[in-house]
Amino acid sequence: MEPVPIVLGVGGGIAAYKAAELARALMERGCTVETVMTAAAQEFVQPLTFAALTGRKVITSMFGARTADEVLASSVEHIAVAQRNRLLVVAPATAHLLAQFAHGLAGDFLTTLHLAFQGRVVLCPAMNTAMWDHPATQENLATLRRRGALVVEPEAGELACGTVGVGRLADPERIAAFVLSALETRRDLEGETVLVTAGPTREPLDPVRFISNRSSGKMGYAIAEAAAARGANVILVSGPVNLTPPEGVKLVQVQTAIEMYDAVMEHMDSAAIIVKTAAVADYHIADVPAQKVKKTAMRLSLELDPTPDILAELGRRKKDQLLIGFAAETENMVAEARRKLKSKNCDMVVGNLVSHPDGVGFESDDNEVVLVTRGGETLALPLASKREIAGQILDHALKLRLALHAGKA
Ligand code: PMT
């Protein structure tokens, strides 16, 4: 997939350091990032931080050039930057920047770029609560929204000025997900419900201990994010993870396999597509002791019972839903994926070699998988970010559904 060129405008606020995390989050999602910093932003963070992260020159002023040729080139650079990038994201967008944008001022590189920019603009405001609530700020934002700008609202919490309220820059992961959805032009899942499971489950051994696994939830959250960007109503049933749920997704948090089973069964009827990415524990203790198990010098054996197989039950109950399972394997991946496809009555199984030499699979930002389908097709998706893999899984799922409906698979 071609990298998506994005220009990141960094305003002068205490949250400017979080723009560095945003640059990284965008790059992890397959974007190239060109950074423009206002003079005030450079009081908070050094341009070098962004140059090192993005591997590109950072634009810090309108007329920083020395020679006559450089002056000539830099005088039109804002147009070139506007033309070569698909989206302008401004984070943090200060009250001052919003006012300048709303009034069409063009006194420095970023405001000039904003006027010249014809692609999508995403504004991520961050400021003190009183400044945020001020009618001037709200009217400027309303003007910008009316002109097509998209806004990632600030979050509530403790602010750098010591007050508590709305004004904190949205989480960089949330902004990055929003940017990707703003770039997504396909709306081929509009109005459909997609049920995704993600993350591990935790099976208690006693009140303080549990069995779990290495799943971080990244693969499942990437699928939820990709489906939401394409217009789906996404229900994300998630085990305990450290991730921010994608914008607009309905999150159902669970801990154990039984809780995941209940949540999935409750929502399965409303779903057109079900993607079971979660790494569900296969065994648990059916009767968890009420008190912490005491340590002794003796050997301890655990007696474990199987958990309900959610995917197999979905396979038994499914009507016209498209059912996609995963198979995390350390050997014979394709054969195992095909076996699970049949035994669990799936339409597609995503085989994931979790003993991959490059360390992809669990926890990593990238993945490499093989799709096996009901029609007998086997398709390897080469190493890519989990977000890209998620998009490709959805592409193939939709193609498969068409083929199944046409009776060709
Ligand atoms: O979360 P990440 O760190 O991003 O890692 C991603 C991943 C490696 C977890 C993911 O890509 C993946 O492979 N998920 C499936 C993990 C798994 O449990 O595989 P399995 O082969 O044990 O299970 C096969 C299928 O049955 C899975 O769809 C699983 O959700 C489902 N299952 C398993 C047991 C059970 N009791 N109920 C189930 O529904």
Same-domain pairing of 60 and 171 = yes
Ligand 1 pocket test: which of 243, 280, 348, 353 has the largest number of ligand atoms within 8 Å of its C-beta?
280
User: Please, which residues bridge with residue 370 across strands?
Assistant: 351, 380
In a domain, 65, yes or no: yes
CA of 151 to the centre of ligand 1 (A): 35
In a domain, 290, yes or no: no
pLDDT of residue 181 exceeding 90, the answer is no
In a domain, 291, yes or no: no
Task: Point out the domain boundary residue: 121, 155, 182.
Answer: 182
Same-domain pairing of 324 and 196 = yes
What's the pLDDT score for residue 157? 87
The percentage of the chain sitting over the pLDDT mark of 90, rounded to a whole number, equals: 83
Same-domain pairing of 93 and 242 = no
The CATH number of residue 383's host domain is 3.40.50.10300
- Encoded amino acid at 146, one letter: R
Domain region containing 199? 187-285+300-408
In a domain, 292, yes or no: no
Q: Which atom of ligand 1 is nearest to the CA of 219?
A: 4
- For ligand 1, which residues put their CB under 6 angstroms from it? 215-219, 257, 276-280, 282, 307, 309-311, 325-328, 340, 352, 354, 361-363
Reported confidence tier of residue 359, pLDDT bands at 50, 70, 90: confident
Ligand 1 pocket test: which of 238, 256, 264, 311 has the largest number of ligand atoms within 8 Å of its C-beta?
311
pLDDT digits (tens, 9 = 90+) for 191-225: 999 999 999 999 999 999 999 999 999 999 999 99
Q: Of 27, 35, 28, give the one whose Cα is nearest residue 7.
A: 35
Same-domain pairing of 82 and 121 = yes
Same-domain pairing of 146 and 199 = no
Distance CA 287, CA 310 (A): 20
CA of 351 to the centre of ligand 1 (A): 10
Q: Which atom of ligand 1 is nearest to the CA of 282?
A: 36
Residue located via tokens 């350091």: 17
Q: Of 218, 178, 189, 14, give the one whose Cα is nearest residue 87.
A: 178
pLDDT digits (tens, 9 = 90+) for 131-146: 999 999 999 999 999 9
Strands 4-10 and 87-93: parallel
Q: How would DSSP label each residue in 279-318?
A: B--SEE-SS--SSPPPP-SS------EEPP-HHHHHHHH-
Distance CA 24, CA 162 (A): 28
CA of 328 to the centre of ligand 1 (A): 6
Same-domain pairing of 176 and 223 = no
Same-domain pairing of 224 and 324 = yes
Q: What share of the chain is helix, strand, coil (3-state, %, to 5)?
A: 35, 25, 40
pLDDT of residue 163 exceeding 90, the answer is no
Q: Which atom of ligand 1 is nearest to the CA of 197?
A: 30
In a domain, 103, yes or no: yes
Same-domain pairing of 142 and 241 = no
pLDDT of residue 65 exceeding 70, the answer is no
More confident residue, 315 or 30: 315
Distance CA 338, CA 52 (A): 44
Name the strand (E) or helix (H) holding 125.
Answer: strand 120-125
What's the pLDDT score for residue 66? 60
Q: How many domains in the chain?
A: 2
What's the pLDDT score for residue 408? 64
Vertex 360 angle, CA 357 and 364, to 5°: 140
Same-domain pairing of 157 and 210 = no
pTM comes to: 0.84
pLDDT digits (tens, 9 = 90+) for 363-399: 998 899 999 999 899 999 998 889 889 999 999 999 9
Same-domain pairing of 274 and 396 = yes
Q: Which atom of ligand 1 is nearest to the CA of 354?
A: 8
Task: Point out the domain boundary residue: 160, 182, 204.
Answer: 182
In a domain, 293, yes or no: no
The CATH number of residue 126's host domain is 3.40.50.1950
In a domain, 78, yes or no: yes
In a domain, 335, yes or no: yes
> Which two tokens mark 400?
């498969």
pLDDT digits (tens, 9 = 90+) for 118-134: 999 999 999 999 999 99
- Check: CB of residue 24 under 8 Å from CB of residue 32: no
Distance CA 380, CA 370 (A): 4
pLDDT digits (tens, 9 = 90+) for 259-301: 999 999 999 999 999 999 999 999 999 999 999 999 999 999 9
Same-domain pairing of 103 and 54 = yes
How many angstroms separate the Cα of 146 from the Cα of each of 16, 124, 125?
26, 16, 16
Same-domain pairing of 125 and 213 = no
Task: Point out the domain boundary residue: 125, 147, 182.
Answer: 182
